[in-house]
Amino acid sequence: MIALRGVRGLRVEDVAAEAGVSKTLIYYHFRDRAGLVTSALDYVNDRAESYADVAAVGGAPVRELLLSLLATEFQDDTTVRENSAVWGEVRAAATFEDGLRPTLASLTERWLVDVAELIADGQDDGSIPPTVDSRAAAVRLTSLVEGLSGRWLAGLLGTAEARAHVAAALERELAGSPQG
Amino acid sequence: MIALRGVRGLRVEDVAAEAGVSKTLIYYHFRDRAGLVTSALDYVNDRAESYADVAAVGGAPVRELLLSLLATEFQDDTTVRENSAVWGEVRAAATFEDGLRPTLASLTERWLVDVAELIADGQDDGSIPPTVDSRAAAVRLTSLVEGLSGRWLAGLLGTAEARAHVAAALERELAGSPQG
């Protein structure tokens, strides 16, 4: 429902009706509206990790796994698009709802650390130069993915184009740092 | 009001009350809620161009002007933060409200063209290598700024950090294309 209508339009009674349960049951499980949104974000995040795992199978150099991982965010697939919409919504809503920030901060940090660790792994297997600052590159790459996602969801950018930009940015970030 | 409460929570009667005019007058001027949001986005965009112009004064190499232009998006200034919040909101809302897309598309395109033209100018004055694809680099740089803005507005990233990432990305994008 967040993917369809956004966080701000989300009403507990509509979620209850969609699930075919009482409002009381929703409140019993999720405590309040913020708990419901947080759980939705956790769910979406777990679901995204499951398709990211699939992308990461095989003995390819870490650099290629990293590209697969970031490119999985752009797929002509309802689930992927829904996940992206929910994330985008919660990010935008966090500007106005302080209650969403702790969850957003911890999930963003988890993603950042995953990407930074993959870059460090690539430095170990020799597919990524040792001069790359893994944390800083991870911040820029994930922020770029978030920026591209917004345009992709709004129909300003096609799937293939978004993926090509991710590949090009990765190429530039992992070329070895121009100035440390 | 969009910067404070978002697009989805925006009600014409609240805007009328804030402006101290009748709802009828708002409808007379802006026609409908979509017209009101579009006008707000135009206003914010004009305001952003005025501080971007200030950043672009002087005889510096175009490459430095480009950095100033992109970095102006991150300032510890209420107006800049409001502009950014309004943009972020309209981008996020465009996932759900098709009516916002034409305005979003044309303003995004205008920004893209401005950045791409500045890159081309830098290729003319020799401060940017001729191998850089100005349009593709502009898409990535502006998308990165949008992604960083979301984190900055949600308090996940400081102003100085956001500006440093813009500078680093620019360095990488303008180093000359690693693969054409």
Q: Which two tokens stand for residue B73?
A: 């998006």
Helix (H, G, I), strand (E, B) or coil at B48: helix
Distance CA(A130)–CA(A133), nearest Å, equals 8
Q: What is the mean pLDDT of residues A153-171?
A: 96
Highest mean pLDDT among A37-51, B40-54, B73-87: B73-87
In chain A, which residues have their Cβ closer than 8 Å to the Cβ of B172?
Answer: 172-173, 175, 178
Give dist(CA A73, CA A83) in Å, integer: 9
Q: Tell me: the pLDDT tens digits for B96-142?
A: 888 888 888 988 999 999 999 999 999 998 899 999 999 999 999 99
Q: Tokens at residue A63, please?
A: 């650099």
Give the span between the Cα atoms of A169 and A171, in whole angstroms.
5
Q: Taking a C-beta distance cutoff of 8 angstroms, is the pair B145, B83 a contact? A: no
Enumerate the residues of chain B whose CB falls inside 8 A of the CB of residue A5.
96
Q: Are B89 and A92 inside 8 Å of each other by CB? A: yes
Q: How far out from the chain centre does Cα A83 lie?
A: 8
Burial label, A93 (beta-carbon count in 10 A; 0-12, 13-18, 19+): buried
Contact list, B88 vs chain A (CB under 8 Å):
92, 95
pLDDT tens for A22-36 read 999 999 999 888 888
| B165 to A89: CB separation less than 8 angstroms, yes or no | no
The answer to whether the beta carbons of residues B154 and B78 sit under 8 Å apart is no
End-to-end C-alpha distance for chain B, whole angstroms: 45
Q: Which residue has the higher pLDDT, B55 or B83?
A: B83
Distance between CA B19 and CA B37 in Å, rounded? 15
Are the C-beta atoms of residues B116 and B138 closer than 8 Å to each other? yes
pLDDT at B168 over 90: yes
pLDDT at residue B4 greater than cutoff 90: no
| Maximum pairwise Cα distance, chain A | 59
Task: Write the residue in B85, B154, B179 that is nearest to A91 by C-beta.
Answer: B154
- With pLDDT > 70 as the criterion, what percentage of chain A qualifies? 92
pLDDT given for residue B180 in this prediction: 40
Select from B92, B145, B156 the Cβ nearest to the Cβ of A92: B92
Rounded (5°) CA angle A32-A33-A37: 120
Q: What is the mean pLDDT of residues A104-115?
A: 91
pTM here?
0.89
Residues of B near A (Cβ–Cβ under 8 Å) read 4-6, 8-9, 85, 88-89, 91-96, 101, 104-105, 108, 136, 139-140, 142-148, 150-151, 153-157, 165, 168-169, 171-173, 175, 178-179
CATH of domain A40-173: 1.10.357.10
Asked if residue B25 has pLDDT above 90, the reply is: yes
Average pLDDT, chain A: 87
